[in-house]
Amino acid sequence: MDIGFILKIAGVGIIVAVLNQVLSKTGRDDYALLMVIAGIIVVLLLLIPQFSSLAEMVKDTFDF
């Protein structure tokens, strides 16, 4: 995992946090919750290829 990937995840987190605060302050708590859920989904979609490569590395290491 390189530093660029970690910065992408941190960037998504910062954007989601700022938008969550803005939406909460304007009284749109339901949209703020949806924004947080969307941010979690985006991060999970970014992590799927990493999990795939981890599983492949474990498979190669232990000769499954």
Domain membership of residue 39 as a residue range: 3-62
pTM of the model: 0.79
Q: What is the per-residue pLDDT for 63?
A: 83
Separation in Å, CA 1 to CA 17, 38, 60: 24, 23, 18
User: What are 20-36's pLDDT values in tens digits?
Assistant: 999 999 999 999 999 99
Q: Determine the Cα–Cα distance for residues 1 and 29; give it in Å rounded to an integer.
A: 35
Residue 38's pLDDT band (cuts 50, 70, 90): very high
Tally of domains in the chain: 1
Query: In the predicted model, what is the mean pLDDT of residues 52-58?
Result: 91
